[in-house]
Structure 1
Amino acid sequence: MKEVLRSTDPTVIAFATVLLEGEGIAVFMLDVHTSHLYGSLGILPQRMMVADRDHFVATAILRDNGVDLGQ
């Protein structure tokens, strides 16, 4: 799996998830609950992962739709 997006903004994460799943790309989120463990500050980014074979296409889809990849 490769990281395709890193963000603390839940709207960006939701938008990116819909874009990728709409294209048939499976998304796996990491660090979803980490921020809650540290007092719900929302300062720790969540990472969106995709399969290695989907990374190039997923990155292109997100860039074409104006998503800041945070990398």
Structure 2
Amino acid sequence: MLEIIRTNDVVILSLAESLMKDAGIHCMIADQSMSVLEGSLGLLPRRFLVEGDRVNEARRILKDAGLEAELRP
């Protein structure tokens, strides 16, 4: 699994997750449980991970959906 987005915006994460599921790409949002430690303030970013062998495809899908600015280099 490789990180392609890091954000604390749950809407972006939800959209990215939905797009990956529609494309059949396994994905995962890491660090969701950190909200317990931060008190639900939304200060700690979550990491959006996708299958390593489908990273390029996932990045293309997210760019096509207008999320290019959210992608990690």
What TM-score, normalized by structure 2, do the two folds share?
Answer: 0.87
Q: Give the letter for the 2:12 counterpart.
A: V
C-alpha contact 1:63 1:69 (8 A) present in aligned 2: no
| Match runs of 1:8-27 below 5 Å | 8-27=8-27
Structure 1 unmatched runs, 5+: none
Distance in 2 of aligned mates of 1:29 and 1:15:
12
* Displacement of 1:70: 4.8
One-letter identity of the residue aligned with 1:47 = R
Identify the residue that residue 66 of structure 2 maps to in structure 1: 66
The percentage of aligned residue pairs carrying the same residue is 34
8 Å contact 1:7–1:70 — kept in the other structure?
no
User: Which amino acid is the alignment partner of residue 43 of structure 2?
Assistant: I
Partner in structure 1 of residue 36 of structure 2: 36
Kindly provide the CA deviation profile for residues 20-56 of structure 1, in whole angstroms up to 9, marking residues without a partner as x: 1100001111100113212221011110111110111
Q: What root-mean-square deviation, in Å, do the aligned CA atoms of Structure 1 and Structure 2 show? A: 1.2
CA distance in 2, matches of 1:6, 1:42: 13
Report the 3-state secondary structure (helix = DSSP H, G, I; strand = E; otherwise coil) of the residue aligned with 1:37: helix
The runs of at least 4 consecutive aligned structure 1 residues that moved more than 4 Å come to none
In proportion to residue count, which structure has more helix? 2
Normalising by structure 1, we get a TM-score of 0.89
Partner of 2:5: 5
